[in-house]
A and B are shown apart, each in its own frame.
Chain A
Amino acid sequence: MGIDVELIKQLMQLMVSSNVSELEFEGADIRLKLRRNGAAPAAVVESTGAQSDRAALADAAASQPVDDNSDVATADVAVVKSPIVGTFYRSPAPGAEPFVHPGDYVTKGKTLCIIEAMKVMNEIESDLDGKVVKILIEDAQPVEYSQPLMWIEPAR
């Protein structure tokens, strides 16, 4: 089915005005979840809808401000995932300045964090230019393969 961008926007506004925190919709080829944890709702597509649907949804979500308190990625952020099982570190050494902070602009190749596995310190580099929106893992915590680590809003 096609996505009606105006409908999504209206749903988001309705959620705010009616204080609804979460709304899920499932169609034949798309599943839409809207969740708010603060002033504005965030949208995420969880299934393989048509590319045009996802693009339309991204447009709808992009018109809403990013909610730093939300734990759901908006459609217009890139999710940096752990490439290995290991321990997540934000700094090169204990007490050192973290590689990145939320709000930092990063370029492709910039080190974002370290994942340690079996005494190998893997520096994870950004594969895009953009702004770090949120860091999802606390320092020195274990991470699984493919676990989301942080969000980066791609540079336009």
Chain B
Amino acid sequence: MCSQSTDSYNGTPMIRGPLEFSIRSFDEVSSTSDIARELAKSGAAEGTVVVAKRQTAGRGRFSSRWFSPEGGLYCTVLLRPDIPAQRSHLLGMTAGLAVADAIEPAIGLPAQLKWPNDIYLTGKKVAGVLTETEVCNERVRLALVGIGINVQRPDSGVPDQLRGRAVWLSELVGVRPADLLTAVLDAFALWYEMLRSGDLGGMVESYNRRGLLRGRDVEVRSADRVTAGRCRGIDARGALVIEQPSGSIKTIVEGKVCSWS
């Protein structure tokens, strides 16, 4: 269920490089990715962006929730990339880089990226990305890149589990979600074009420059094992590189970083 908004997001299409963004703005939705998926089924074009003031069921990985009160930026970018499935994970990294690009000038502080695509400021999480794709014949036909950014810290308080672990931009500087959206999409269009062209060197370099885990001791839990060691950044494919105590190098494509120090 959702309701259409009349605020400043709506308007004429925004041209951002090769991607033409068309903003669909709502006051409240279950999840911007749910709405984007519905729009995709009706043939919505690449560059359609669903943005909402609030989400009642914003989600993170699988069933985890994304706290989505009014004052944050919640959006999903609809893409029809037609790239090999083996590059699908880079869509999330593209969004992570775009958010970092957008908030750094506004805040005047470096943003950091925690593998694979969480965005941190002052050691706390400020934004997250969750990407859903549809793959057929080993190609990504549809991608829904969901982005949630903590902008205005809610007056009503925050859940206990976020205290001390999350940060809101308003704690550092005043930013309007609408202005932030423009900056995120500007940056996203550039990284997305690089991803589609297969030119990944700049992406990897920018990611590693902002890597929160680089040089730290980390523990990564995968489906069938836990890997511990010193993080050496990401490799050319976006995999996390870990130097184990034995000196052997392990690259991890799938897993959750459960601790770092």
Which residues of A does B touch, CB under 8 Å?
Answer: 83-87, 93-95, 109, 111, 115-125, 127, 140-142, 145
Contact = CB atoms under 8 A, between A and B. Distances in A.
B85 A87 contact: no
A93 B63 contact: yes
Contact of A123 (B115, B130, B135): B135
A136 to B, nearest CB: 16
A120 B131 contact: yes
19 contacts: A84-B85, A87-B222, A93-B62, A111-B134, A116-B254, A117-B88, A118-B89, A118-B254, A119-B116, A119-B117, A121-B130, A121-B131, A122-B88, A122-B135, A125-B141, A141-B224, A142-B223, A142-B224, A145-B86
B61 interface: yes
Contacts of B115: 118
A118 B132 contact: no
B89 A120 contact: yes
Contact of B93 (A109, A115, A118): A118
B131 A83 contact: no
A113 to B, nearest CB: 10
Interface of B: 61-63, 85-86, 88-89, 91-93, 115-117, 129-138, 140-141, 222-224, 238, 253-254
A87 B91 CA distance: 17
B123 to A, nearest CB: 20
Contact of A120 (B63, B92, B137, B223): B92
Most chain A beta-carbon contacts within 10 A, residue among B130, B135, B253: B135
A116 B117 CA distance: 14
Nearest to A93: B63
Given A84-B86, A85-B254, A127 B136 contact: yes
Contacts of A95: 63
A45 B116 CA distance: 41
A118 B93 CA distance: 9
Given A109-B136, A119-B131, A145-B86, A87 B223 contact: yes
A87 B61 CA distance: 13
Contact of A125 (B91, B136, B238): B136
Given A93-B62, A118-B93, A123 B132 contact: yes
The residue in B62, B116, B238 that gathers the most chain A C-beta atoms within 10 A of its C-beta is B62
B135 A83 contact: yes
Contacts of B117: 118-119
Contacts of B136: 109, 125, 127
Given A94-B62, A142-B223, A121 B133 contact: yes
A112 to B, nearest CB: 10
A44 to B, nearest CB: 22
Contact of A86 (B63, B129, B132, B254): B254
B85 A118 contact: no
Given A118-B238, A119-B117, A122-B85, 10 more contacts: A93-B63, A94-B62, A94-B63, A95-B63, A116-B61, A117-B88, A117-B89, A119-B130, A141-B223, A142-B224
Given A94-B62, A140-B223, A142-B223, A120 B91 contact: yes
Contacts of A87: 222-223, 254
Contacts of B133: 120-123
Contacts of B132: 120-121, 123
Given A121-B130, A142-B222, A83 B85 contact: yes
Contacts of B138: 83
Contacts of A116: 61, 254
A118 B135 contact: no
A135 to B, nearest CB: 16
A122 B86 CA distance: 10
